[in-house]
Structure 1
Amino acid sequence: MPNWVNLDALIPREDFEAIDSGGLTQPSAISTTLRVTDLLPDSISYSVLRKPDFQRETANWTPEKVAALVQSFLEGDLIPAIILWRSPKSGSVFVIDGAHRLSALMSWAHDDYGDRLTSRQFFDNVIPESQRKAAEATRRLIQENVGSFSDLSLALKSPRTVPDEKLLLARNLSVFSLNLQWVNGEAEKAENSFFRINQQATPIDPTELDMIKARRKPNALSARAFIRAGTGHKYWSSFDEITQSQIESIAKEVYDLIFQPNVDLAIKSADLPVAGNRYSADSVKMVFELVNFTNGLQPEMWRDESGTRRRKKAGEEVAPLSDDPNGTATIQFMRVVKKASERIAGNTPGSLGLHPAVYFYSFTGRFQPAAFLAAVAFVQELSEKSRLLKFSEKRQEFEEFLIKHKYFLNQIVRRYGSLQRSVPPIQKLYTILFEGLRDGESDDDIISRLQAAPNRLPVKLVGVEEYEHGRDFSAKTANAVYLESVLNNAPRCGICGARLHMKSATVDHKIRKEEGGTGAPANGQLTHPYCNSGYKEHLHAAIKKS
């Protein structure tokens, strides 16, 4: 997966319907061209440029594509026209089509490829390593191919000091401009134009489109906050300051819980993020699914655009999800997600502290979003059915089975796909495995049950010899070696015996304080948080009864 250049900070977002105190205005004439100098930070033209508040993140161009756009512009190649709309209410100029093209030229003019002043302010100084690397790569490519904006600007003042080819580019900069086209009409016409245009050459991802249309609903607002740790564009800015602060605080807590540390594709450490790389292609979909599932939402609830209709599902009326006018519902949704996340990760007393290498990464070391969502669903089901104690009793056997047959995950994902469609079959695998262990079945019996289940799971035993390898280690093979080392060397919980993830480990008294145990190192052991609280007390109660 390439490192995407994050240019989202360069054009601010605004609601189409935003009303400025100055009232309605009508332009006497509108420009049909835009020069790069009009995009500089202190330019009047730049100060009124906006993206619609529902515009997807301007962050899916590679360094090579950004650099190529700048070079193409300077060399006089045809750049498609930028489509704009001017709000008669606020006077703001909205980019209907061409935000990436404009942002690429802005990044060059500002020398900000996602890592400098405007971006740092926008992201509250939270610049992930992958974003920083992409910015550096872009800056380097542009310097090699055309030179920085400041260099070309100085070249015109000292033409004898620069090569002829750079002088030509500098002169082109002084006269070349982008063509502009304008959408006429009110906000509704502009919004319809945006969707129509953006579903043509590069269609909007279906999940992103869902989130755009549900942008004022608590599920979309929650997902937006989580995916950026409460930084970036504040879709919740219309709420009061206390509510905004709460949203950003919960978002940061959950982000740190599931996405930290930030990692690239290669596994180099045992400290794996529970929810994989936040910048993966599936991360937004996964977080949106996480919010919807944990809050018991069905698509027909938030896709109902009428806002008043009720649809029937399984014989029951389903109320449509309303917009959130004040942030109360958004905070409630976020707290539910936080509770579910804390159940599988972190150090709160109820946390099972699931080891990411056991549950969420395939045997080739690839993070599987479906496995993450399935684990959340499985643990939530265990909690609702009061089976966490029994799970802790069988946990070591449960996880040893998953590790021994890790390729089952790949087989399921290969059959059903990488996200939503794979969640139910993976959850079914967990449920059948747990029930089999509870009933005292062998591995072979459990596998037979998996294969015989209704809509049977596509799992089969395979040997190492079935996988072909070249003479060199591929990235997948290297990840598999690292992952195997992580699993083999992981410490064990002193109570249940299953593997510990050190971000979710607690120190427990082997001999309890009430039984005379001291705080000496020899009396300490590492445990899962839940094992150190609920399960340990259950064991002691069982011993007393016997």
Structure 2
Amino acid sequence: MASKAVLVNLDAMIKRADFATEVEDETTFDTINSISVRDLNDFTAILRKPDFQRETNHWSPNQVVSMLESYVTGDLIPAVILWKSSYIFVIDGGHRLSVLKAWIEDDYGDGPLSIKYFGSEISKEQRNIAEKTRRLINERIGSWAHFKQRLSDEDISSAERNKITNILTRGLTIQWVKGNADKAESSFFNINMQGTPLDEVEELLLKNRHKPTSISARAVIRAGKGHRYWSAFSKEYSDKIEQEAYKLHSILFDPDLNTPVKTLDLPLGGARGVRVAIQLLIDFILIANRDNQGQPKTLDGQDDDELGSKTVESLKNAIDLADRITGNGNGSLGLHPAVYFYGPTGRHTGPMFLGTAFLIAQKMKNNDKEFFKKFTSIRSQLENILVKDKELISMIIQKNSNRTRDIKYKEFLDDLIKVLLLGNEVSESDLINLAGLQGKLVAGNVNSSGKKFSDDQKSKVFINAALYSSIRCSICDGYLDSAKSISYDHITRVRDGGVGTGENCQLTHPYCNQSVKN
């Protein structure tokens, strides 16, 4: 499996449609046994992916090139499997067909089709991968336009003309699924658990595709662009979903995360790549929508959203939580991402982000206003520990199983705050004890034998140096995220005769200004 950071997004090549839509016309298409690349544009006009199918972004540039090399050299390519309804649906072979379509269009996630499909919201990462893919194809195979141009040249040999003609007219074998929508959907899941199987997140999303959290996560990951999984809802709800999804996407994923880290203006949610962020989004949205009893705990614990209102509410709750974490609203804590959500080497740490969000969401749900005042009173001490002991805290997180890291970190952070509120000093051994890992943890840095600085080491040095000289809140002495969350506070209040001069202005967290001081 290729790294999630280097996968080609071909999702715009074949549109999606409602899989369950059927027509009474029993006309069969099983006389069509193959389709050539030359006819692919006409064919894709009636070709669709099921609305629940995962994004077509699971192949690396080398896999895309390998598929095209097999095509142009005449090597065996497995048949694509289709099912006829109001459209012709791809049950298996979506990546193969999308690669061929991308070759024709010269669009590997950054061309006209993709720009239109994603509403111009194409990340820098996606553009870079598309360009790398195009460069590899042009070097090792040649573009579709190149082959067509060569065919029109008068000076090519008959052997080369014959070869190019075979490439342009080669057929891709088609097999057909017989039966109704239930049979076709069952075939889809059976086939896609083989070959390149669905991972846990994909299977979870597909099987719970009508839940508000699933729809919300898919809307947010593409900033309300791409395929409209919410298109069955009324225009009122559909428009609202897109607006709220765009807003939450911006809060969590702006600006782009680059490595090595050279700025403290870091995105709260880490990298915005679809494969990287979707699980984090599912978990964050679930956390924001749990009740006082902590329900629903899982995605499948929700009811389906029939109208769109539950998805809108889901997104609004998630935005409320995100606004408490960051932003310039009066209740914003303005948590600095580099302090709270990034590990010692500048990598975003999901359990730190989700565990912190979980704790804040719980206090919001319980309307525990005193917690936030108490938190602010020890905030500076807490943040000094989170920065000074990042290596140790990272190791503490790693010692827990993947499935429990979020909740364990939430409990660890909550307990740490309680200890600080008692006025106690906290040592490294105290941190280990709070995590319940006595005798199970040995701290220490891993030394590299390489002569060059890795991106991780560069990020680590930059973050440490930048935080050392970072601006602090004049009220609580905590770190200020000046790019996202800052308040300009009158030192002498207006009601006490204070004026709007620079000498009477101090920089604070929004919450400190509005809730602590007042």
TM class, shorter-length? over 0.9
Q: Does 1:443 align with 2:426?
A: yes
The corresponding residue for 1:377 is 358
Q: Distance in 1 between matches of 2:246 and 2:134?
A: 30
Residue 132 of structure 1 corresponds to which residue in structure 2? 127
The answer to whether structure 1 residue 324 and structure 2 residue 305 are counterparts is: yes
Q: SS at the partner of 1:181? A: strand
1:518 matched residue in structure 2: 499
For 1:7, the equivalent position in structure 2 comes to 10
Q: CA deviation at 1:452?
A: 3.6
What CA distance in whole angstroms lies between the structure 1 residues aligned with 2:481 and 2:162? Answer: 58
> Partner residue of 2:61?
63
Does the C-alpha gap of structure 1 residues 53 and 232 become closer, same or farther in structure 2, counting only changes over 3 Å? Answer: same
Report the alpha carbon displacement of residue 58 of structure 1 after superposing the two structures with TM.
Answer: 0.7
Q: CA deviation at 1:371?
A: 1.0
Query: Which is further off, 294-303 or 67-76?
Result: 294-303
2:248 maps to what in 1? Answer: 254
Find out whether 1:507 has 2:482 as its counterpart.
no
**Structure-2 residue corresponding to 1:195:** 189
Aligned partner of 1:486 in structure 2 is: 466
For residues 101-146 of structure 1, the C-alpha deviation after alignment (integer angstroms, 9 at most, x for no partner) is 1111110111111112111111111111111111111111111112
**Inter-CA distance 30–300: structure 2 relative to 1 (3 Å threshold):** farther
Contact 1:360 1:369 in 2 (8 A): yes
Letter of the structure 1 residue corresponding to residue 233 of structure 2:
F
The answer as to whether partners of 2:392 and 2:443 remain within 8 angstroms in 1 is: no
Equivalent AA in structure 2 for residue 199 of structure 1: M
- Give the partner amino acid of 1:380: A
SS in structure 2 of the partner of residue 483 of structure 1: helix
Deviations 1:309-368 (A, max 9, x none): xxxxxxxxxxx5321111011111111111111111111111111111001111011111
For 1:339 and 1:379, how far apart are their aligned partners in 2?
Answer: 11
Separation in 2, partners of 1:443, 1:162:
80
Gaps spanning 5+ residues in structure 2: where? none
- Aligned partners of 1:63 and 1:457: how far apart in 2? 46
**Of 373, 383, 392, which residue of structure 1 is paired with 2:376?**
392
Assess, with a 3 A threshold, how the Cα gap between structure 1 residues 301 and 263 changes in structure 2: closer, same or farther: closer
Would you say 1:75 and 2:73 are equivalent positions?
yes
Find out whether 1:337 has 2:331 as its counterpart. no
Mean alpha-carbon deviation: is it higher for 182-191 or for 473-482? Answer: 473-482
The answer for the alignment partner of 2:407 in structure 1 is 424
State the distance in 2 between where 1:522 and 1:460 align.
50
Q: Distance in 2 between matches of 1:443 and 1:210?
A: 41
Kindly provide the CA deviation profile for residues 20-61 of structure 1, in whole angstroms up to 9, marking residues without a partner as x: 6xx423226431111111222xx1x11011001110011122
C-alpha separation between the residues in 2 aligned to 1:16 and 1:145? 37
The yes-or-no answer on 1:243 pairing with 2:237 is yes
Matched to 2:81, the amino acid is I
Distance in 1 of aligned mates of 2:126 and 2:460: 26
Q: Is the 8 A contact 2:396 2:441 kept in 1?
A: no
Distance in 2, matches of 1:280 and 1:366, equals 17
CA distance 1:3–1:162, shift in 2 (3 Å): farther
Q: Which amino acid aligns with 2:231?
A: S
Judged with a 3 Å threshold, the aligned counterparts in structure 2 of structure 1 residues 457 and 34 are, in CA distance, closer, same or farther, namely: farther
2:228 aligns to what? 234
Root mean square deviation, CA, Å = 2.2
1:443 aligned counterpart, secondary structure = coil
Report how many aligned residue pairs link the two structures. Answer: 508
Alignment pair present for 1:498 and 2:482: no
Match of 1:86 in 2: 84
Which whole-Å CA distance do the structure 1 matches of 2:268 and 2:45 have between them?
A: 40
Structure 2 counterparts to residues 30-49 of structure 1, below 5 A? 30-40=31-41, 43=42, 45-49=43-47
**Aligned position for 1:530:** 511
Q: 2: CA distance between counterparts of 1:140 and 1:163?
A: 28
Question: Aligned residue for 1:113?
Answer: 108
| Equivalent pair of 1:425/1:457 in contact (CA under 8 Å) | no
Match of 1:349 in 2: 330
Counting aligned pairs with the same residue, the percent is 37
The question of whether the paired residues in 2 share the 8 Å contact of 1:81 and 1:181 is answered with yes
Q: Would you say the 8 A contact 1:220–1:288 is kept in 2? A: yes
Residue pair 2:345, 2:457 contacting (<8 A) in 1 also:
yes
Q: Deviations over 1:417-471 (max 9, x none)?
A: 5x54211221122112101110011122xx444434584478857355x534422
Question: Contact (CA 8 Å) 2:38, 2:169: kept in 1 or not?
Answer: no
Distance 1:168 1:71, change over 3 A: farther
Match among 93, 107, 122 for residue 117 of structure 2: 122
The match for 1:477 is: 457
Match of 1:516, as an amino acid? G
Residue of 16, 20, 31 corresponding to 2:19: 16
Give the match's secondary structure for 2:510: coil
Measure how far apart 1:391 and its partner are: 0.5
Q: CA offsets per residue over residues 459-508 of structure 1, 9 Å max, x none? A: 857355x5344222122211211221232232111211111112111222
Residue aligning to 1:220: 214
Change (3 A) 1:321 1:458: farther
- Do the aligned partners of 1:412 and 1:457 also contact (CA within 8 Å) in 2? no
The structure-2 alpha-carbon separation of the partners of 1:47 and 1:441, relative to structure 1 and needing over 3 Å to count, comes to same
Cα pair distance change 1:379/1:491, threshold 3 Å? same
1:394 counterpart letter in structure 2: I
Distance 1:453 1:481 in 2: 28
Partner residue, 1:317: none
What is the rounded CA distance, in whole Å, between the counterparts of 2:198 and 2:15 in structure 1? 20
**Alignment check: 8 A CA contact 1:4 1:61 kept:** yes
Range that drifts further, 386-395 or 60-69:
60-69
Distance 1:135 1:111 in 2: 10
In structure 2, the residue matched to 1:364 is 345
For residues 247-299 of structure 1, the C-alpha deviation after alignment (integer angstroms, 9 at most, x for no partner) is 01110111000101112343122211000001174411111111222212757
For residues 186 and 515 of structure 1, the distance between their equivalents in structure 2, rounded to whole angstroms, comes to 75
Relative to structure 1, the CA distance from residue 374 to residue 534 in structure 2 (aligned partners, 3 Å threshold; closer, same or farther) is: same
Aligned counterparts of 1:113 and 1:494: Cα–Cα separation in 2 = 49
Any idea what SS the aligned residue of 2:90 has?
strand
User: What is the aligned counterpart of 2:388 among 404, 407, 429?
Assistant: 404
The answer to whether the 8 A contact 1:450-1:457 is kept is: no
TM-score (norm 2): 0.93
- Structure 2 residue matching 1:416: 3-state secondary structure: coil
Cα separation, 2, equivalents of 1:469 and 1:342: 43
Structure 2 Cα separation of the partners of residues 162 and 267 of structure 1: 54
Which AA in structure 1 matches 2:506?
Q
